[in-house]
Amino acid sequence: MSGLDQRRFRRLMLWYPRTWRRGNGDVLLSLMLDDAERTGRSRPTAAEARAAIVHGLGARLGATTAMIAASLAILATAAGQVGILFLTGGGQAVHEPMLFAMTGLAPAATGIALIALLRAVGLLGDGAALIAVVCSAAAGTCSGLAGIGWARGFDAADAGLPQTGLAALTLPLGAAGILLTAVAFALLLTPALRRTVLASAASILAVVVAVIAAPITGTIVFFSPGTTAVVAIAVLVAAVLPRVRGARRRDHASVPAPQPPRPAAHVSASGAALSRVLAGVALIGGAVGMTWAFAGAAWSPAARGDDTAAMREGIVILAISMIPALAALGVVLRRSRRTAARDVWIPVIAASTGFAAIAGDYAVSDGRGDLTVGWVGGAVAIGVALAWWIVARMPVGTGRGDAIGIRIGVGLGIVLAYALVLGLALTPMLAFGAPVVALVVLILPWRRVSRATSVPAAGRAA
């Protein structure tokens, strides 16, 4: 057909991400052109345009988008926390943007990251995902403005001034944010409930749960902005998992790209024995530490009947026990050779340093709970371990300066967010995980892995 305008059809392809267009763009374009020529049309139909826009934008919500949005949330939380705690002389010009970053930008980015993650693993459709993204962004904006309004209203009340401007709109903005959050929750929950025995009432149940959960979530985010950093870090960890990234690749390409053969998992007898010995030491030490923490006041000469002192001594034993547990875990993680040695051992060494710092601090502390160099250093070291583990697995190139900058920026954000929001309270409690880590190492199927990898090798030799 001579009047066929291919440019209009090609422009629709721009809604799709480049990786999707490389794998599927020519096929979809050919189908649309053939159908237009068959029906005597010169341009796409309204239905084709809507489908391309919805599916194209939806295809952009994948694992990479989840990582970018979660990283932005972490950076916004860290920047806001640093600004409010340390930039005390900037007045409203500094505090209000920092407050908006924590109570508005970070929650919105976290919501978008969660939506993109659900879309990447196939739990959310394109249309619902896009509506949820808009609701999340709008809810974050309302929440951030409500946070600024609340701060202004608080200052005005102290000065005996009337509530005007954003201060007077605090409640309406907060209510709008909760309503938008409820809509987003309902969109996220409906597909999940449809996969259960409650499928017939999925929509109604999703609305009921959303109406209950949205105010609770809004209150937590408003009064404890650091909570969003916890969720964002969890989303970031999930988004870098190979299974999630594989789901994104399958969505963007009709034919999976050929993968180079993976090196066979190999565990030497000495490595397996070493890991079991380390895990055994950690398990025994962890059991002693747990017992000492909760019952040591009865026999510890240093505690002398003081339960708090016994708990400190138990945490010292547990933190020390975590070091061999982490070393054993490092041997396990290196068995598949899928991750570079530095990306295993640097987090292990950093985390071990953090627990050593906590053990040293608790060994010499007097129990008053004051922040010390050892306590803060331990939290930062654990944050470094977490950050390195995540950014090393982010699917960005390592040879470009911008990619390296992204890794550094995200890593610093994770370190700051963990250390300032979670680490100071959580890091000593993580020491109680020493026996759990040791048990995980001890129950791993070393023998089955060794046999599974040795049989093909023997077959090839034959």
pLDDT digits (tens, 9 = 90+) for 14-68: 899 888 888 888 888 888 888 888 888 888 888 889 999 999 999 899 888 888 8
> For residue 258, what pLDDT is reported?
42
Tokens 């610093």, residue located: 412
- Distances, alpha carbon 211 to alpha carbons 8, 185, 187, 189, 208, in Å: 43, 9, 12, 12, 5
> For residue 231, what pLDDT is reported?
85
What is d(CA 255, CA 250) in angstroms, rounded to the nearest whole number?
A: 8
> For residue 87, what pLDDT is reported?
67
User: Distance between alpha carbon 461 and the CA centroid of its chain, in Å?
Assistant: 44
Output phi, psi for 429, to 5 deg. Answer: -70, -25
Tokens 């196939």, residue located: 122
pLDDT digits (tens, 9 = 90+) for 124-133: 888 999 999 9
DSSP state of 196: S
Who's near 419: CB < 8 A, 6+ residues apart? 376, 379, 380, 383
What is d(CA 88, CA 154) in angstroms, rounded to the nearest whole number?
A: 17
pTM of the predicted model as reported, rounded to 2 decimal places: 0.67
Beta strands in 226-351 (DSSP E): none
Q: Which parts of the chain sit beneath pLDDT 70? A: 1-3, 85-93, 197, 241-269, 303, 336-338, 366-371, 395-403, 405-406, 444-462
- Our CA angle for 337, 342, 344, nearest 5°, is 65
Phi-psi region of 165 (alpha: psi -120 to 50; beta: other; left: phi over 0): left
What is d(CA 247, CA 405) in angstroms, rounded to the nearest whole number?
A: 26
